[in-house]
Amino acid sequence: MKALFALLIFSAALRPGHAAAPPARANYRDLEKVALAELKEANTPGAAVAIVSGDRVVYEKGFGIANVETGAPVTPAMLFRTGSVLKMLTASVLVALSEEGRIALDAPLADAVPGLAPRLSRVTARQLLSHTAGLIDPARICCAQDERALAAEVCAYRDADYFFTEPGAIFSYSNTGYIIAGFLIEQLGGERYADAMQHRLFDPLGMSHTTLRPTVAMTFPLSQGHEAKGEAKPTVVRPFVNNVGDWPAGFACTNVGDMARFAIAFMNGGMLDGKQVLSASLIKTLSGPYVDVPFGLDLPIEFYEGAKYGHGLFLQEHRGLRVLQHGGTINGFGSLIVMVPEHRFAVIVFANKSGSLLGKTVEKAMELHLPLKAKAPARPRQALPMTMPEMEDAAGTYANGNLKIELSIRDGRLLRKESYPSSVEEGPGRELEGPVRKIGADRFLFTPAGEDTAATEFLLIRGEEGKPEYLHSNLEAAKKLDAAKITK
């Protein structure tokens, strides 16, 4: 569900800017060629695409098939699982509640909701929404089905199990933070999370086909999710994954048309169909840069130094324009929304294969509508020499919940070993191990031995004393453990 991305968005995020001019129909044929080619390249059965310009949807189309077993075609009306794209919607409702005076974003949670674990009660809502609460990031796809599960799960959190570092110390992507945010919405709004989202956001925006409840989603045209390894034929994911306790982090079902309505309101000062449905102050809060995002993840819209996270949105510069974006991955689906408020432009892509984000399609849509600069050359990744003192400085064990990353020295080389224990939620345990190459100051590449995959880039982040304190990769930080506290 991560999915799975220092630049202010100026006041363009708060008031209407200039709408990008729709291209000629022939150019949309070029977009369609790119989309079909990328579906084939990504071994993804189908996808839906919507493009927003100004205050309307100027393009909407389905590609490929919704179910490999039936061959039913994808239509724009079909529902897909959002994955973490839902986070901007969860954040919208919690920020709206703060504007009603129900909770102060920078006050301890205990001021608004008593009874939480002691350490958690001192966290703030803003830290939850900006991934700075110091929380771990478990990804659970099953199995609670009772809507009381969200409150039960959060009330059962124990401080010792859910924090890997102090709140406010560093950005580290955490679904747990948004699960707690959804719990706050329940407690403050006086109704179940799914009902609060419906009454406070989906209904006012006219998102009439958006729901958290699978039993509602199945009454609409619904794409099935798929998985495929390598070039193997995609297969339908069964069962349709659902964990009510984790709904706020990414379990909604929606279509590109509904999501486009949110984008239109967001980029037009909160106005939609002639009505003020989102406040300008809410939009400012969501899109305001709050925390630095260390480079460490290659998305279709790549992160470079200067990327930040607001509240449910990544903020960055891309080819000369300031963009807001969020991707999402969940079993069977991938999603991506990119908004350029200055040009009142957005593109939304939902795909029906795990982790499929279709970045080339998104990039082509942007090229057709926006005055993008030429693509920057690829960041050089050639290996640099690494001295023994540098390796000794980096070596150690870094941890975030069940994730353990060990950097060690063997035969004069720096190696990285990752271990993931087995669990009911996440399946069999696994280990990845391989060499590390230095490619810059505190910047490295890790290639697991025997893995047919691109190298993972990671960054060491130093503390006040100049020693490595965190290892940051794939949007998550792992804290370096004191050698005396490491258990073998």
| Cα–Cα dist 200/358, whole Å | 31
Does one domain contain both 435 and 290? no
Residue 30 domain-assigned (yes or no): yes
Helix (H) or strand (E) holding 60: strand 56-64
Asked if the structure places residue 382 within a domain, the reply is no
Q: Are residues 117 and 2 located together in one domain of the fold?
A: yes
CA atoms within 13 A on the CB side of 311: 25
CA 119 – CA 125 distance, rounded (Å): 14
β-pair partners for 46? 64
Co-location of 322 and 432 in the same domain: no
User: Does 70 lie in the same domain as 115?
Assistant: yes
Q: Give the total number of structural domains in the chain.
A: 2
Determine, yes or no, domain membership for 437: yes
Residues 347, 393, single domain; the answer is: no
**Which residue type occupies 178?**
Y
End-of-domain residue from the set 376, 404, 427: 376
Say if 383 falls within a structural domain. no
Report the CATH number at residue 469: 2.40.128.50
User: What is the residue-level pLDDT of the chain in tens, covering all 488 positions?
Assistant: 444 333 222 233 334 567 877 777 668 999 999 999 999 999 999 999 999 999 999 999 999 999 999 999 999 999 999 999 999 999 999 999 999 999 999 999 999 999 999 999 999 999 999 999 999 987 666 677 889 999 999 999 999 899 999 999 999 999 999 999 999 999 999 999 999 999 999 999 999 999 999 999 999 999 999 999 888 999 999 999 899 999 999 999 999 999 999 999 999 999 999 999 999 999 999 999 999 998 755 555 555 567 899 999 999 999 999 999 999 999 999 999 999 999 999 999 999 999 999 999 999 999 999 999 998 787 778 899 999 999 999 999 999 998 899 999 999 999 999 986 654 344 456 788 999 999 999 999 998 887 656 678 899 999 999 999 999 998 999 999 986 555 44
So what's the pLDDT on residue 464?
92
Ramachandran area for residue 175 (φ above 0: left; ψ -120 to 50: alpha; else beta): alpha
Residue 83 lies in a domain: yes
**Residues 398 and 303 reside in one and the same domain:** no
Residues 324 and 338 sit within 8 Å (Cβ to Cβ) = yes
Residue 211 inside a domain? The answer is yes
Is there a single domain that holds both residue 351 and residue 474? Answer: no
Q: Residue 455: its pLDDT value, please?
A: 79
Q: Tell me how far apart the 2 most distant CA atoms of the chain are, in Å.
A: 68
Domain-terminating residue out of 345, 376, 407: 376
pLDDT at residue number 460? 97
Domain extent at residue 396: 388-485
Does any domain span residue 185?
Answer: yes
Backbone angles phi, psi at 269, to 5 degrees: 65, 25
- Phi, psi at 283, each rounded to 5°: -60, -40
Both 237 and 337 in one domain: the answer is yes
Assess whether 272 and 399 both reside in one domain: no
Show the tokens assigned to 20. Answer: 């990008």
The reported pLDDT for the residue numbered 5 is 33
Tell me the pTM: 0.92
Residue-wise over 209-242: b if at least 16 C-beta within 10 A, else e?
bbbbbbeebeebbbbbbbebeeeeebebbeebbb
Predicted pLDDT at 338: 97
In this prediction, residue 75 carries a pLDDT of 98
**Which residue, chain included where needed, has tokens 């098939």?**
65
Last residue of a domain, one of 376, 400, 416: 376
Do residue 353 and residue 429 come from a single domain? no
pLDDT tens digits, one per residue of 188-207: 999 999 999 999 999 999 99
Place of tokens 């020693």: 467
Report yes or no on 381 lying in a domain: no
- Is the Cβ–Cβ distance between 311 and 294 less than 8 Å? no
Listed residue (32, 43, 5) closest to 356, CA to CA: 43
pLDDT of residue 1: 47
What pLDDT, on the 0 to 100 scale, is given for residue 22? 72
Which DSSP state fits 284?
H
Alpha-carbon distance 304 to 40, whole Å? 28
Residues 6+ apart with CB under 8 A from 41: none
pLDDT value at residue 4: 35
- Assess whether 15 and 151 both reside in one domain: yes
Q: How far apart are CA 213 and CA 203, in angstroms?
A: 15
Whole-number pLDDT of residue 488 = 42
CA distances from 442 to 10, 170, 173, 460 (A): 31, 17, 20, 5
**In this structure, are 149 and 4 located in the same domain?**
yes
CATH of the domain at 58: 3.40.710.10
pLDDT at 484: 52
